[in-house]
A and B are shown apart, each in its own frame.
Chain A
Amino acid sequence: MIDQTRLKILVDGAKYDVSCSSSGSARRNSADGVGNAAFGGICHSFTQDGRCISLLKILLSNDCAFDCKYCPNRRSADVPRAHAAPEEICELVMEFYRRNYIEGLFLSSAVYQNPDYTMELLLRTVRLLREEYRFNGYIHLKGIPHADEALTRAAARYADRMSYNLELPSEQSLKLLAPQKTKASVLTPMGVLQTGREEAAALWKARTGKTERKGRGKFLPAGQTTQMIVGASPETDGKILRLSESLYRKFSLKRVYFSSYVPVVKDPLLPTVSAGLLREHRLYQADWLMRFYGFDSAEIVGEGENLAVEYDPKCAWALKNMHLFPVEINRADVETLLRVPGIGAKGAYKIVSARRFAKLTFEDLQKMRIVLKRARHFITCDGKFYGADNEERVRTALAVAERLDGAKQLSFFDGDEGGLLRKSERQSISLSVLDGTKNFLLHSTPSIAKSALDGQF
């Protein structure tokens, strides 16, 4: 049995992997087995940093042969080293799973001795878990760059999802900060696994005449993901999003995760300040626009640019494309509605289904709980417009809306040094918003607060 000390060491080394999802697989239980996978994924707990715990995130070993600058487990770091035996991992998974602590296992490892040896250990663990322990819950397996292709493919047969972390968004940065990794060492196995998925799908089609059902594929049913650290190297958001887009297209990745750089490691080549949660948040917003809202990366931001700080990327896009607005809520097609700032997938769906029965008014939208503080400037309801009358006021209103959300839910604007405002610039004031019925306590810069009080939105 694993003890608390080793557990802590092996978890500390694994926790900077952002991916926590247990979705995408609908693996079924077997007659003598334990567990299955829920297609939508299930969160089991949330830590103080607000991240979910869905899978048991752990390393087989943190004793690494590589020396990536940003990594707390790198060869040259002076940290306690530990290993876990495959049996110990399996036992922990089974005991945690039956108590409903977790959905499954997220297994990773430092490069122990060499890539092939490590990959073999990972393979042994997942095979044991599936074949001896009869575990049918979710397994997310981390691939080891430079490991033998046959081992990778063998391991993929037991996992629901695999991931290779790109970590840095360009070859130059990799060379500088992760000298043993190359772009090819990550992208080649991704290609191998994608081919494996396509072959399995084609085989199924040939045998049954049907397309594989979602999440029921025989080879990595939940596909692949990757992760990039943001802010450790100089790449712009535009560059990062273009890279993500090409990964989605080429390897059908399910997700690209962004991890805002946290300086846990001191090195002259690394920045000393964290990149801040806001930048990461903006990248995720842009990522959502590409995956669910039909945006291209080129529409969102120029290659050499970063995303706007004051507004979310959809607002920023809309402000550059004011000639497309306002759109009539009772007629616009769903693709157009999805491009209205403040209207999400759920809101667009609600509008489209409700307007089949009756013409929708502004009050209807409010009652349907469509959030209108942004959308009102970009829509008409049965011909009537409820937004601000010039672009400058729209800008101000959007910035204020953003500040309110940031202060209320996400606390991007306080606490972290990478956030938008320094403490001294902030003031608390009370003001009435738009309809004059609600009072918010607003944390804001004096200039925005003043224009808000002057009724400029």
Chain B
Amino acid sequence: MNARTVYFTGGTEEGFFTAVFDGYNQPNAYLTSEKNLQLGLGENLIRVQPDMEKVARVERKIKGLDARAIGDVRLALRHRDEDREQVAFLYVRQLVKTGKSVRGMLSVEGVRRMMDLRGQVLNEVHRLKGFLRFSETNEGVLYAPCSPDHDDVDLLASHFVARLNAPFVIHDVWRRKALLYDGRECIVAAVGDAEIVESEREKYFSSLWKKYYQSVNIAERKNLTQQKNYMPVRYWQFLNELS
């Protein structure tokens, strides 16, 4: 097998689409944003410089073939899988080769992997809509820490902006970034540790919630397996009813 030509995208969407443009005709192209990548013998590393013209051309091409594909690619790039860029790249190639939408082509492995990544990101976004827990600070800000598998906290913006009439923070503690809403605008910012002083009301209602959680359980129907299937244990550390 020939040695790969590795395109380092820098982890941005623009970097990715530029790399798709540059690497498209390179049969052994491998796209990645993995910083600690081990290069094999004779392998080439190219650090991609985002080029907006190339980005626009690639996006236009994809949109022309399948209006939904560009959204699928963007979702997949948020996945934590190390191969996410390569999976998305091969999907784009398959799309261009086929010349029309390939999302139903589930007997092809590349398409399946792409749809898996996309689905897993969307699934987590849906879960977070349920499993986030806000606590109210002294200043009346709602603060929710979380540690999602994928880079997706900003996808929660429209959901919570539409619902809450208070400023809020959704903090991805692992990626050290947060979605901040001040009552008018929503931004994503890099943040470090957060120090929170809870209001008195917060303590009261948090304890009522714990009481509710215990009371609503039907002990005669205990089924811990099912509980864990629906609510994986990795989310538990941020659920106040379980801590």
Which residues of A are in contact with B by a Cβ distance under 8 Å? Answer: 1-2, 4, 7-8, 11-12, 14-16, 29, 32-36, 38, 42-54, 56-57, 92, 95-96, 98-101, 137, 262, 264, 274, 277, 350, 353-354, 356-358, 360, 364, 367-368, 409-411, 415
Contact = CB atoms under 8 A, between A and B. Distances in A.
Contacts of A367: 107, 109, 112
Name the residue in B131, B160, B205, B215 with the highest tally of chain A Cβ atoms < 10 Å from its Cβ. Answer: B215
B239 interface: yes
Contacts of B165: 32-34
Given A34-B164, A100-B132, 16 more contacts: A32-B165, A43-B130, A45-B130, A46-B226, A46-B231, A47-B217, A50-B226, A53-B216, A54-B130, A92-B208, A98-B164, A101-B133, A101-B209, A262-B218, A367-B112, A368-B107
A350 B204 CA distance: 49
A98 B209 contact: no
Contact of B215 (A12, A137, A353): A12
B183 to A, nearest CB: 13
22 contacts: A1-B204, A7-B211, A15-B216, A29-B162, A42-B129, A45-B241, A46-B227, A46-B230, A47-B217, A48-B217, A50-B221, A50-B223, A50-B227, A52-B230, A56-B212, A95-B205, A99-B142, A99-B205, A99-B206, A100-B132, A262-B221, A274-B220
A98 B134 contact: yes
A47 B213 contact: yes
Contacts of B107: 354, 357-358, 360, 364, 367-368
B14 to A, nearest CB: 32
Contact of A8 (B112, B215, B226): B215
A337 to B, nearest CB: 14
A410 B223 CA distance: 8
Q: Is the interface of B mostly helix, strand, loop or mixed?
A: helix
Contacts of B224: 48, 50
B104 interface: yes
Nearest to A52: B230
A137 to B, nearest CB: 8
Given A36-B162, A100-B144, A354 B104 contact: yes
Nearest to A49: B221
A7 to B, nearest CB: 6
A11 B136 CA distance: 24
Given A11-B216, A53-B213, A98-B134, A48 B104 contact: no
Nearest to A22: B130
B191 interface: no
B212 A7 contact: yes
Contact of A48 (B130, B136, B209, B223): B223
B106 interface: yes
A132 to B, nearest CB: 15
Contacts of A43: 130, 230-231
Contacts of B109: 367
Given A34-B163, A354-B106, A50 B225 contact: yes
A50 B108 CA distance: 36
B105 interface: yes
B124 to A, nearest CB: 13
B123 interface: no
Contacts of B102: 357
Contact of B126 (A14, A42, A49, A353): A42
Contacts of A357: 102, 104-105, 107-108
B218 A95 contact: no
Contacts of A95: 201, 205
Interface in B130-174: 130-136, 142, 144, 159-160, 162-166
Given A53-B213, A99-B209, A36 B226 contact: no
Interface in B196-212: 201, 204-209, 211-212
Contacts of B162: 29, 36
Nearest to A20: B216
A46 B229 CA distance: 10
Nearest to A5: B211
- Most chain A beta-carbon neighbours within 10 Å: one of B144, B201, B209, B225: B209
Contacts of A45: 130-131, 213, 231, 239, 241
Contacts of B163: 29, 34-36, 137
A357 to B, nearest CB: 5
Contacts of A100: 130, 132-134, 144, 160
B222 interface: yes
A358 B133 CA distance: 46
Contacts of B241: 45, 101
Contacts of B132: 100
Nearest to B206: A99
A439 to B, nearest CB: 20
Contacts of B215: 7-8, 11-12, 15
Given A34-B163, A98-B142, A357-B104, A49 B209 contact: no
B52 to A, nearest CB: 34
A101 to B, nearest CB: 5
B225 A411 contact: yes
A230 B227 CA distance: 23
Nearest to B221: A49
Given A50-B230, A95-B205, A38 B129 contact: yes
Contacts of B136: 98-99
B135 A99 contact: yes
B130 A42 contact: yes
A1 B221 CA distance: 31
Nearest to A4: B211
Contacts of B209: 96, 99, 101
Nearest to A353: B104
Given A36-B162, A49-B217, A44 B211 contact: no
A364 B108 CA distance: 9
Given A98-B164, A357-B104, A409 B204 contact: no
A57 B205 contact: no
A49 B223 contact: yes
B216 A47 contact: yes
